[in-house]
Amino acid sequence: MLFEVYKPKQGVRARLVVLGAAAVIAVFGGRWLYGELIQKPAAWSYGVSFGVGLVVLGVAAWLANLPRLVDLLIETESELKKVSWSSRKDLWKSTWVVIVTILIMGVFMFTVVKVVEQVFFRTGVLLRTSESEREARSAEPWPWAAGDALARGRAAPPDDAGATDT
């Protein structure tokens, strides 16, 4: 036989997960490759993308049948069967605890930022700007735009800055 499965009755779920992950990688990788080859003739692009996808699946099937990897997958699956999983009710309780904690921390962090902001405004570290100043700033070109100094109404430095007339 060309392809004989090592320990065929053991670790079936784990092998299917590995092959499923490889299939997802093959599909998305083939789609990406097709996008890269879109300028080529359509038949060629489809053929290469499909061929690479098949090669990825073949390599994954070969890897999922290596004795060391199969033994690891079998042991992993048997250990997962021993795990005491939480009930659905406990899972919902834990999820709500996490959501409420995140919301409380978000409100706390927002409050701290606003308090620090007010302290900086009142001590003069930050200056308040009027609405017209903010609009004027948003109308300015980006600092790295060409002619930035001229756009703000300032004279650009001369090209021979630092040179002396003799």
**pLDDT of the residue at 130:** 72
pLDDT above 90 covers a percentage of the chain that reads 21
CA-CA distance, 70 to 19, in Å (whole number)? Answer: 12
Give the residue numbers spanning the domain of 43. 12-82
- Indicate if the pLDDT at residue 105 is higher than 80: yes
**58-91 tens-digit pLDDT:** 888 888 788 898 888 889 888 888 998 899 999 9
CA-CA distance, 34 to 48, in Å (whole number)? Answer: 8
pLDDT above 70 covers a percentage of the chain that reads 79
CA-CA distance, 46 to 36, in Å (whole number)? Answer: 11
C-alpha pair distances (Å), 48 with each of 22, 28, 62: 18, 14, 21
Within this chain, do residues 16 and 78 fall inside the same structural domain, yes or no?
A: yes
**pLDDT of the residue at 104:** 98
pLDDT interval class at 158 (50, 70, 90): low
160 found inside a domain: no
Within this chain, do residues 61 and 93 fall inside the same structural domain, yes or no?
A: no
61 found inside a domain: yes
Residue 54: which of 32, 8, 31, 23 has the closest Cα? 23
Within this chain, do residues 78 and 108 fall inside the same structural domain, yes or no?
A: no
100 found inside a domain: yes
Mean pLDDT, residues 94-106:
97
136 found inside a domain: yes
The type of residue at 72 is: L
Which residue matches tokens 């070969």? 62
Within this chain, do residues 90 and 77 fall inside the same structural domain, yes or no?
A: no
Q: Is the pTM of this model over 0.75?
A: no
